[in-house]
Amino acid sequence: MSLTPREIVSELDRYIVGQNDAKKAVAIALRNRWRRQQIPSPLKEEILPKNIILMGPTGSGKTEIARRVSKLVKAPFTKVEASKFTEVGYVGRDVDSMVRDLAEVSVKMCKEEAIAKVNAKAKTQAEERVLDILSPRSTSHVGPKLNIEEEHSINADEAREDLRRNLQNGDLNNQLVEIEVKQTAGGVPMVSMMGPVAGFEEMASNLQESLDKMMGGGRKKQRKLKVKEALDIFEQEEAQKLIDLDQVQEEAISRAEQSGIIFIDEIDKVVSREGRGPDVSREGVQRDILPIVEGSAVHTKYGIVRTDHILFIAAGAFHTSKPSDLIPELQGRFPIRVELKSLTEEDFIRILEEPENSLVKQYSALLGTEGTTLSFDKDGLRAIAKIASDVNASQENIGARRLYTIMEKLFEKESFESPDKPAETLQVDANLVNQRLDPIVKNEDLSRFIL
């Protein structure tokens, strides 16, 4: 992982409009992880991650930044919602589970890498196994043998090589073979049976595993499969045999500790409102989160994970509260505060068309499958953006999310009718937008429900 801050920002730019301060802060924090790795101990141990809080109104891109960062970094990353946690002893998830999630992600990642390394060998071995089924190997190579047998074995070898070529060309892909496959347990969802009681979660997931093993984890079953499918299954099995699971887990723990990132979304939801009352457990959650952010040891299935060097990025809208309402110790652990701006009409225009997954591209592609071509005019986009920001101002400001409801309403007609109609091109200009949406926007009650 060695993208420079500038590269990280430009990657984020592909999906998120504006919010440069937030992008920069995140990019610097990510690069600092790499920088620290270059520094020798003991100084390295002293350098703690600079945790970040992203604040900004609803629908301004906080969670979106997290989602994109997770795809970008080649480090274990997990995103949790603070509102899902409860103080130990209450019903809900316990905070340690975020570290267990991270360990899980890290193991998966390291395992995939290990498997990729043995891939070629696993492929060959899988081929051998399929060949063994298609044409049982001749055993006549050992010991002295009669001429006639020798000849026979050479023929058999040749036949096997022919078969191998066919197999590699994919000529046999659809042929059926019978193989033994491990039966996966039907999975009785123990965890949900027990209910999400904080603290019991890990116990429950361990129980689940033993249960899975009991219920036929080791049992095998004969199945008829296509050669292609059999190859895939064998390849996986062989790869599992070739990798050293202990080593993978060790590497995974160390990677989670050294470069892991935990994104705590909705952190403002655990700020207790004034007056206390039934909110006491929120502050309890903050107190539970604190040791994790400060550095502690968390037990996971794969071993103990120390959290000292994990990077935490928190985000919250902080509508009715401020970061200073967090308990002081926790505030101190998030030294970097970045504000995301409320999105403007200009931003909306850009959000509609610029990102690689923009709504304009999405709707064009969706309706394109029905033969309807959408042709967006600049003033059409402007009209959509204007309605979005008007409704945000008159109703509730839900940021870019407003664009989703508006676009859905705008193309309701085509979404329903286009399969029954011949191919057509729809000109999306200001006229069309206003004609279709004005009646709803003008009527407050209607727009409250529809847009």
Ligand X SMILES: Nc1ncnc2c1ncn2[C@@H]1O[C@H](COP(=O)(O)OP(=O)(O)OP(=O)(O)O)[C@@H](O)[C@H]1O
User: Residue 24's beta-bridge partner residues?
Assistant: none
85: closest CA among 276, 281, 325?
281
**Between 330 and 400, CB nearer to ligand X:** 400
Mask for 48-77, x = binds Mg ion (CB under 5 A)? --------------xx--------------
Partner whose footprint covers residue 284, from Mg ion, ligand X, none (CB < 5 to 8 Å by kind):
none
CB of residue 271 vs ligand X: minimum separation in angstroms?
14
**Between 64 and 294, CB nearer to ligand X:** 64
If one asks whether residue 58 binds ligand X (CB under 6 A), the answer comes out as yes
**Between 110 and 271, CB nearer to ligand X:** 271
**Between 63 and 205, CB nearer to Mg ion:** 63
Contacts of 349 (CB under 8 A, 6+ apart): 381, 382, 385
Contacts of 360 (CB under 8 A, 6+ apart): 352, 353, 374, 376, 381
CB of residue 72 vs ligand X: minimum separation in angstroms?
15
Partner whose footprint covers residue 60, from Mg ion, ligand X, none (CB < 5 to 8 Å by kind):
ligand X
CB of residue 9 vs ligand X: minimum separation in angstroms?
13
Q: Do residues 9 and 27 lie in contact, with contact meaning Cβ atoms separated by under 8 Å? A: yes
217: closest CA among 226, 225, 208?
208
Partner whose footprint covers residue 82, from ligand X, Mg ion, none (CB < 5 to 8 Å by kind):
none
CB of residue 203 vs ligand X: minimum separation in angstroms?
32
Among 9, 27, 110, 317, binds ligand X (CB under 6 A): 317
Where do we find the tokens 């059999």? Answer: 230
Partner whose footprint covers residue 59, from Mg ion, ligand X, none (CB < 5 to 8 Å by kind):
ligand X
Mask for 238-277, x = binds ligand X (CB under 6 A)? ----------------------------------------
Partner whose footprint covers residue 64, from ligand X, Mg ion, none (CB < 5 to 8 Å by kind):
ligand X
CA-CA distance, 265 to 70, in Å (whole number)? 13
If one asks whether residue 83 binds Mg ion (CB under 5 A), the answer comes out as no
Which two three-digit tokens encode residue 65? 């930044």
What number of chain residues touch ligand X (CB under 6 A)?
18
Partner whose footprint covers residue 380, from Mg ion, ligand X, none (CB < 5 to 8 Å by kind):
none
Full 3-state SS string of the chain: CCCCHHHHHHHHHCCCCCCHHHHHHHHHHHHHHHHHHHCCCCHHHHCCCCCEEEECCCCCCHHHHHHHHHHHCCCCEEEEEHHHECCCCCECECCCHHHHHHHHHHHHHHHHHHHHHHHHHHHHHHHHHHHHHHCCCCCCCCCCCCHHHHHHHHHHHHHHHHHHHHHHHCCCCCCEEEEEEECCCCCCCHHHHHCCECCCHHHHHHHHHHHHHHHHHCCEEEEEEEHHHHHHHHHHHHHHHHCCHHHHHHHHHHHHHHHCEEEEECHHHHCCCCCCHHHHHHHHHHHHHHHHHHCCEEEECCEEEECCCCEEEEEECCCCCCHHHCCHHHHHCCCEEEECCCCCHHHHHHHHHCCCCCHHHHHHHHHHCCCEEEEECHHHHHHHHHHHHHHHHHCCCCCCHHHHHHHHHHCHHHHHHHHHCCCEEEEECHHHHHHHHHHHHHCHHHHHHHC
**Between 110 and 315, CB nearer to Mg ion:** 315
If one asks whether residue 62 binds ligand X (CB under 6 A), the answer comes out as yes
Partner whose footprint covers residue 400, from Mg ion, ligand X, none (CB < 5 to 8 Å by kind):
ligand X
Q: Which of residues 336-355 bind ligand X (CB under 6 A)?
A: 351, 355
CB of residue 320 vs ligand X: minimum separation in angstroms?
12
Partner whose footprint covers residue 401, from ligand X, Mg ion, none (CB < 5 to 8 Å by kind):
ligand X
Among 61, 76, 92, 284, binds ligand X (CB under 6 A): 61
CB of residue 381 vs ligand X: minimum separation in angstroms?
14
Q: Which of residues 379-408 bind ligand X (CB under 6 A)?
A: 399-401
Part in contact with ligand X (CB under 6 A); list of ranges 16-24, 127-135, 224-232, 291-299: 16-24
**Between 62 and 111, CB nearer to Mg ion:** 62
If one asks whether residue 49 binds ligand X (CB under 6 A), the answer comes out as no
**Between 223 and 409, CB nearer to ligand X:** 409
Part in contact with ligand X (CB under 6 A); list of ranges 58-66, 114-122, 132-140, 162-170: 58-66
Name the site residues for Mg ion (rule: CB under 5 A): 62-63
Name the site residues for ligand X (rule: CB under 6 A): 16-19, 56, 58-64, 317, 351, 355, 399-401
